């Protein structure tokens, strides 16, 4: 039991470091939380306000902070024997979404979710289920609004995980991740318009 709690705490603390808020401030002197419309300490605002180079760095850090603690735990602990592994899997996402360094007002945790799920490779391919849902609602059954697309994606991800994933501890972790992301999207301000992000990315590359 104690090893699972250790990695859950490690994952929560790792996830609680909001690189998308810190790096723009350190590298560009920009406070994306104060200056953005939705006041979200996430990679989208880092792209928009600090440029694509800083934005890409923020994405990589958010992926890594989810990936590393889960990968370390999955390589050292059984993932099927204890339901506590679901908490280990969700911990980086919970840390990001409810960061204690911002009084529980963290980011929307999409990138951290992908990072945590990537940490399960190659033992579990559930990250590809999440990616497939995002692509489905972006390219086939298109939901233009980012918030609604995310809500639909993570709702189906939670339900589908129990049907598609034989490891019920991992499926339970996927449900916890989905609950955190859905809560943050329902409680936060509307997400930045996608066209603004595209313009910011192009402007940063060609300027």
List, for residues 58-88, the tens digit of each pLDDT value.
999 999 999 999 999 999 999 987 899 999 9
Dihedral angle over CA of 142, 145, 149, 151, nearest 10: -150
**Contact at 8 Å (CB) between 102 and 5?**
no
Average pLDDT, integer, range 174-184: 97
**Contact at 8 Å (CB) between 160 and 132?**
no
Crossing angle (nearest 10°) for helices 168-187 and 110-118: 170
End-to-end CA distance of the chain: 53
What pTM, to 2 d.p., does this model score?
0.88
């Amino acid at each position: 039991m104690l090893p699972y709690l250790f990695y859950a705490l490690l994952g929560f603390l790792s996830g609680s470091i909001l690189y998308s808020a810190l790096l723009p401030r350190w590298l560009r002197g920009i406070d994306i939380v104060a200056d953005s419309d939705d006041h979200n300490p996430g990679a989208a605002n880092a792209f928009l306000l600090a440029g694509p180079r800083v934005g890409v760095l923020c994405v990589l850090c958010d992926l890594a902070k989810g990936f590393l603690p889960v990968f370390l735990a999955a390589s050292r602990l059984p993932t099927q024997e204890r339901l506590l592994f679901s908490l280990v899997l969700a911990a980086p996402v919970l840390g990001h979404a409810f960061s204690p360094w911002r009084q529980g007002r963290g980011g929307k945790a999409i990138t951290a979710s992908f990072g945590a799920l990537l940490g399960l490779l190659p033992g579990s391919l559930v990250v590809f289920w999440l990616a497939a849902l995002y692509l489905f609602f972006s390219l086939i059954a298109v939901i233009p609004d980012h918030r609604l697309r995310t809500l639909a994606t993570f709702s189906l991800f939670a339900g589908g995980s129990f049907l598609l994933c034989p490891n019920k501890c991992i499926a339970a972790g996927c449900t916890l991740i989905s609950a955190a992301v859905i809560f943050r999207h329902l409680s936060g301000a509307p997400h930045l318009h996608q066209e603004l992000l595209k313009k910011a990315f192009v402007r940063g590359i060609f300027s």
